[in-house]
Structure 1
Amino acid sequence: MRLLPFLLLAAAPVAAQQVPVRTLAAPEAELEESFDQVTAVRELSDGRVVVADRSAKRVALADFRKGAVTTIGREGSGPNEYVMPAGAIALPGDTTLVPDPQQQRFFVVKPDGTPGGTIPWPGFGPLGSVRGADRQGRIYATGPRLALGPGGDAALRSGDLPDTVPVIRWTRAPSRVDTVGWVQGPKTNVNVSGGPNERRVMVRSQPISPQDDWHVAADGRLAVARVSDYHVEWWNGAERTRGPAVKYAPVPVTQADKDRVMAAMRNPRNRIVVTQGGPARTPPPGPPPIPDSDWPATKPPFAAGGVEANGLVSPAGEFWVRRSVAAGAAPVYDVFDGAGRQVRQVVLPKDTRVVGFGARHVYVARTDADELQWLGRYAL
């Protein structure tokens, strides 16, 4: 794996100006078929979208004009199957890669919306979060924080994982992996027990932990939101362009926030185990209680990590970052330009989140009282 050098070009003072606020009220269109947990949406050139539904273990092709939703492939470990669809990565020419972390491979969706087999992950260890691809087809992800040694267990030790996480770029042909930079990850503890023939590994992140967020633009530039003083950097090869810091008022962590975190932890659909040399499996329910000392007093300036919080870069090259708000409040996204400057805020309806962009639309998943999710689109 190669390490790429970088140069920070500029820094700026704290941004004090007010920015325009746009409120998205009702969607331009919403599909009549619900989903369980929309991970991501990729728009094709004809306006149809590929939808990854993690909890339903389903990849679908949706047509907003016709109101039709059809399943692509099926659950399983065969050549046109998947176990946990964890994203929808846009490759050139309308090909889509769906990360399947439990099987450490990608499920391929061809431009016509039919299955195209699978592609194995690069063979240096498990990837973290796969965020996107550039127009050259290079794939960007967080590298492994938990190193696996020979046999898959030599590097497993109890203790805290490193605070920083590598951002890697995988060029598929010829296969090469580069480390393009490092970001702050969540505070995470690993507990290893058992013997060499039956080893149990428990990984637990500090709840509502401050961490950087990032995504990749089509031209290969990376947008990185730094949590330390809330500013956005753009990485372009060795260059690092830093925007001004953004003012924010810390949001207290309340019991409602804690209840939501614990409910997500108790839901076995939100947890996976990745194994080496054996089948992937869903862990048993029943997470341990979180000590009071692990809960922070306030939230970080923006949400990052997990299925519902990652920032996204729009086709216009703007970076959307989900700002931390009080429990139950309407979601707010801070939008940054290519120089890292905040240019506006976008307010969404309650219980919604951005899951993808198209040429002229932003796609939003809405969760109802029954925990079903509905996919809508708004004009940009």
Structure 2
Amino acid sequence: MSTARNSLALILVALAATGAAGQQTASTALPPIRPLGKATATSTDLMGAVSQVRALPGGRILVNDNLGRKVVLFEPGLSASKVVADTTSATANAYSSRAGGLIAYKGDSTLFVDPISLAMLVIDGKGNVTRVISVPRPNEANALIGGPNGTPGFDAQGRLVYRAPPNFRIVPPPGGDMSKMQIPQMPDSVAVVRIALDTRVVDTVAFLKIAKTNMTVTQTPNGGMSVTSTINPMQVVDDWAVTADGRVAVVRGQEYKIEWVDGKGAIAASNKIPFAWRRLDDSTKTAFIDSTKAAMETLRQQAVTRAQAGGAGNMPIAFGPGGAGGAMDMGAMGGMRIEINMRGGDGPRGAAPGASNGAPPTGGPTNIQIPPLNFVNPSELPDYAPPFTAGAVRADLDGNVWIRTSNVYGGGSVYDIVNAKGELTDRVLLPTGRVIAGFGPGVVYMGFRDGAGVRIEMAPIRSATP
């Protein structure tokens, strides 16, 4: 939740709305936009980020801090807290050097996914690690982190549901000649899958349209690798969520409707969701591209700095959410993610001077470069702003689906709330700078940044009746 990342997300949802005022179209009357209830609790402890919140019985919550590399248990009212997992010996280095994921599990238990060790810690309702189980598909461990890839969860049959990585593999060039390196075409769709943890049987739930990026790789004069990409930052994508009853809600961006997939794979499609579509004129498209370029350049520079601070043993450069060190967050741009791992000869985890137990290496600078990003011509943007971006869909505890739309009001994000029948029942405005990280009974948990840092805020979904 850095300032640069928040600024980018605001650009992506705000320019499409404010630049085309008065050009809305909606075929059906929309519910009025109402504010979220006033916050009833705010944490005093600062976080690096509020990536995920898991509500527990009695008002406790578990919070995943992907930037601070820790999982924290907060008491009711966000008062006292204790660290459940971090990178120190006090928790046996339970949180490694890379981002992890937090997934609601059986009863009041929770899974913490560590992509480095390929392990999932089972945390009970009191914040104690009770046992460790293995990640079901090691090559897809990063997909369990969440973020713009969607929030993993369990269906009614107890199968783990998540968005699988794209079918995209870079083959090393013959003889290691980087000048002959070729990048295959990026796919424009991915699968949502579910897997039984006991049998490891995998079932494909649905396919999602994702953002597509064109990439090329060239060799630098010093023998390194340079990646050039051409990005369309406003693409129509699909998203998904596991609902409270265990169904999978697939939200289609083109039609703006929900397809519900039950445990047997049967699909029930709802009607289109009413929406205030925003037409984009040429000047708005140009302003959008220019502002996005500026925001992404800031993030690129940050990624370069982090990459150069690492060692050459195991340095991942990631474009997208939930990545390792050197990640450039493009989650608001449709969930696009490309990760390039440069590994030494010491195995999967790698090591470098100053690195131990999976911590980020601290050796000399790497020879990987991240050149300035290229963007498509503004004329290639759609004539209407897409209704949402990747990672915009969440499910609450009451069976509703919350969709963070591309429309804003007064600087805050507007969420469409769709019930289990696929009906738009409410539209809720979040305060400026807030991002939903999870739900509790009748409440929503958000992360926000103030002058001191990042905090957690709890607010009722509805204001108290006077």
User: Normalising by the residue count of structure 2, what TM-score does the alignment of the two structures yield?
Assistant: 0.67
- 8 Å contact kept, 1:80–1:116: no
The CA deviation at 1:97 is: 1.2
The 5 Å alignment of 1:214-229 reads 214-229=240-255
The CA deviation at 1:104 is: 4.1
- 8 Å contact kept, 1:39–1:85: no
Q: Return the index of the structure with the highest Cα Rg.
A: 2
Deviation by residue 1:28-49 (Cα, 9 ceiling, x = unmatched):
1111112111111000112100
- Residue 241 of structure 1 corresponds to which residue in structure 2? 269
Alignment pair present for 1:353 and 2:388: no
Alignment pair present for 1:210 and 2:224: no
- Residue 162 of structure 1 corresponds to which residue in structure 2? 187
SS at match of 2:107: helix
Alignment pair present for 1:145 and 2:166: yes
Distance 1:266 1:118, change over 3 A: farther
* Paired-residue identity, %: 25
Which region of structure 1 is more displaced relative to structure 2, 317-326 or 19-28? Answer: 19-28
- State the alpha-carbon separation in 1 of the partners of residues 407 and 456 from structure 2: 22
The CA deviation at 1:348 is: 0.6
Task: Give the counterpart of 2:416 among 334, 337, 340.
Answer: 334
Which region of structure 1 is more displaced relative to structure 2, 327-336 or 281-290? Answer: 281-290
Distance 1:226 1:29, change over 3 A: same
SS at match of 1:267: helix
- 8 Å contact kept, 1:140–1:169: yes
The 5 Å alignment of 1:1-380 reads 16-24=28-36, 26-65=38-77, 67-75=79-87, 80-123=94-137, 125-127=139-141, 128=143, 129=149, 131-147=152-168, 158-191=183-216, 206-236=232-262, 237-250=265-278, 252=284, 254=288, 255-268=290-303, 271-272=323-324, 277-279=347-349, 287-293=370-376, 297=381, 300-305=385-390, 309-325=391-407, 329-369=411-451, 372-380=453-461
- 8 Å contact kept, 1:257–1:327: no
- State the alpha-carbon separation in 2 of the partners of residues 68 and 211 from structure 1: 40
Report the structure, 1 or 2, having the larger strand content. 1
- 8 Å contact kept, 1:59–1:85: no
Which region of structure 1 is more displaced relative to structure 2, 72-81 or 104-113? Answer: 72-81
SS at match of 1:126: helix
Deviation by residue 1:272-297 (Cα, 9 ceiling, x = unmatched):
35758522768979642222426664
Which region of structure 1 is more displaced relative to structure 2, 240-249 or 348-357? Answer: 240-249
SS at match of 2:412: coil
- 8 Å contact kept, 1:192–1:199: no
Report the structure, 1 or 2, having the larger helix content. 2
The CA deviation at 1:238 is: 1.6
Deviation by residue 1:316-358 (Cα, 9 ceiling, x = unmatched):
1110011113698211111111122211111011000111011
Distance 1:221 1:25, change over 3 A: closer
- 8 Å contact kept, 1:142–1:165: yes
The CA deviation at 1:144 is: 2.1
Equivalent AA in structure 1 for residue 374 of structure 2: P
SS at match of 2:127: coil
SS at match of 1:354: strand
Query: Which 5+ residue runs of structure 2 have no aligned equivalent?
Result: 1-25, 144-148, 175-180, 307-320, 325-338, 351-359, 462-466
Deviation by residue 1:147-178 (Cα, 9 ceiling, x = unmatched):
56999x9xx96132211100010110122111
Equivalent AA in structure 2 for residue 64 of structure 1: P
SS at match of 1:311: strand
The CA deviation at 1:257 is: 4.1
Distance 1:312 1:326, change over 3 A: closer
- State the alpha-carbon separation in 1 of the partners of residues 370 and 237 from structure 2: 22
Which region of structure 1 is more displaced relative to structure 2, 110-119 or 40-49? Answer: 110-119
Deviation by residue 1:201-226 (Cα, 9 ceiling, x = unmatched):
95966434432111101322111221
- 8 Å contact kept, 1:302–1:321: no
Equivalent AA in structure 1 for residue 120 of structure 2: F
